[in-house]
Each structure stands twice: as C-alpha cells, then as structure tokens.
Structure 1
C-alpha cells in the first residue's frame, strides 16, 4: 500500500492514521528512519528495532542462553597480586 504525507514547517510530517494504526504507532513513540544504499528510506518504531536485534541475538546464542549465562561469560579471573 502507498501512503502520502506533506512536509510542513519545521520538517514535520504527519504519518497517515491508517498507517499509524497498522504499525501500532502511538503518541510519544520513537521512530527510526534508515536509508539503504539505493536511497530508499524505511521507518520503524524503536521497539520494532529492539525486537529485531533481540531476535538476531537469540539466533546467535540459542534459546537456552540466559542473562546469568551472559554475566558468567564476562567474569574475569584476575591474577593474584
């Protein structure tokens, strides 16, 4: 689907209501704009970006990796002085 919006003073753009509902964008949400190598721009909510990164991390470490595992992996055994 294609949507249309106009840029007004101060660079403000009103996201069409149908698109806001479809993407579940609420007042106060942070929006992330990303430009690809071809010049296209994508728009996602900050929460969508976080969820995607969490999925990538989960795929890397596996379903059983926990916060406790993460912290234990970072414990440094310092040599005795």
Structure 2
C-alpha cells in the first residue's frame, strides 16, 4: 500500500495514522530513516532494526546454549585466564 505524507515547516513529516497503527508507532517513538542501495528512503521502527541485528548475529549463536549461558561461559574463561596469569606472576 502507498501512503502520502507532506513535509511541513522544520522538515517534519507526519506519518499517516493508518500506517502508524499498522507499524505500532506511537507518539514519542523513534524511527530510523535509512537509504537503500538505490537511494530510496526507508523508514524503519526500532523493533524492525532490533530484528535485523538479531538476524545478523543469529548464525553465530550455538543453538544448544542460550545467550546467558554463552555470556557466563565467556566470563568464566576470562576469570580463569586472569587467575592463571596472576598465579604465574606470583610464582616468578
């Protein structure tokens, strides 16, 4: 569906109410204006950007482990390296 919006004083654009409802945009929400490869303007919601970033990083996740488990495992490895380095320094 195509919508029409007019640029008013100060460069403001009023997003048509039907489109705001469809996209779940409420007063005070932030939107992102991007340009695609052809130079066309693309309006995205915060939720759309979050989903895009999640999609980018999804292939790097281990499906057998949750993100919290991955973060905790990484922190434990870091603590072990720090402890091993401290032990080596005190033995020297």
Is the structural similarity TM-score above 0.5? Answer: yes
Max radius of gyration: which structure? Answer: 2
Residue 17 of structure 1 corresponds to 17
Quote how far apart the aligned CAs of 1:37 are. 2.3
CA RMSD of aligned residues (A): 1.7
* 3-state secondary structure, aligned to 2:51: helix
Task: Name the structure, 1 or 2, with higher relative contact order (CA <8 Å, separation 6+).
Answer: 1
Residue 68 of structure 1 corresponds to 69
How many residue pairs get aligned? The number is: 81
Tell me which protein shows more helix as a share of its residues: 2
Quote how far apart the aligned CAs of 1:24 are. 1.1
Unaligned runs of 5+ in 2: none
- Provide the TM-score with structure 2 as the length reference: 0.74
- Distance 1:55-1:63 versus aligned 2 partners, 3 A rule: farther
- Distance 1:51-1:28 versus aligned 2 partners, 3 A rule: same
